[in-house]
Amino acid sequence: RHWKSIQHVYAKCRGYARWRPLFEDFYLGTRWDNLSAMNQAMVRTIATQALGITTRFSDASDYAPEGAKQELILDLVRKSGATHYLSGPAARAYIEPARFEEIGVELAYKDYGDYPEYEQPWPPFEHAVSIVDLLMCTGDEAAYHIWGHRQART
């Protein structure tokens, strides 16, 4: 059902032909044991194949983090040896920056507001969409829309 929705919404978009095989394989060509496994594979594949990200991925379960909410994040950051933590903007409501300072981790929040607009199937432009929208609407220019536009300005 989700794949049919993607087809219906994005079939006429310029990136659809480019990314259709990847998404069609995720939805129809692979049998997933659970949604988490599908999501992890999808994130890694999009990051590497569509965005050119070469960062090593690891799973939180590799570190056996303990606690809930912020405590879980702090434990994961400590156990993974991270020096920076990039959070989504909504987490400002519950994250206490001082806790990250205490363990020597630099905390930053992602800001999506300066992304350049692109043509979407139904205007007006909406920033709060998934990577699927960006890929289907921009094709191979998705990486530029995420960070390339910042390099072009400097």
Q: What is the pLDDT of residues 81-124, one digit of tens each?
A: 999 999 988 889 989 999 999 999 999 998 777 788 999 998 99
Q: How far apart are CA 132 and CA 142, in angstroms?
A: 10
Q: Quote the CA–CA distance of 116 and 147 in Å, as a whole number.
A: 10
Distance (Å, whole) CA 4 – CA 63: 37
Residue 85 is inside which H or E element, if any?
strand 84-87
> If you average pLDDT over residues 30-57, what whole number do you get?
91
User: Is the pLDDT score of 153 beyond 70?
Assistant: no
Please report the pLDDT score of residue 9 as a whole number: 95
Res 149 pLDDT > 70: no
| Predicted local confidence at residue 24, as pLDDT | 94
- Contact (CB, 8 A) for 95 and 107: yes
Q: Taking the CB of residue 50, how many other CB atoms lie within 10 A of it? A: 19
Tens-place pLDDT, residues 6-35: 999 999 999 999 999 999 999 999 999 999
What's the pLDDT tens digit per position in 68-80?
889 999 999 999 9
Round to the nearest angstrom and report the end-to-end CA distance of the chain. Answer: 43
How many Cβ atoms from other residues are within 10 Å of residue 77's Cβ?
A: 21
pLDDT value, residue 151: 66
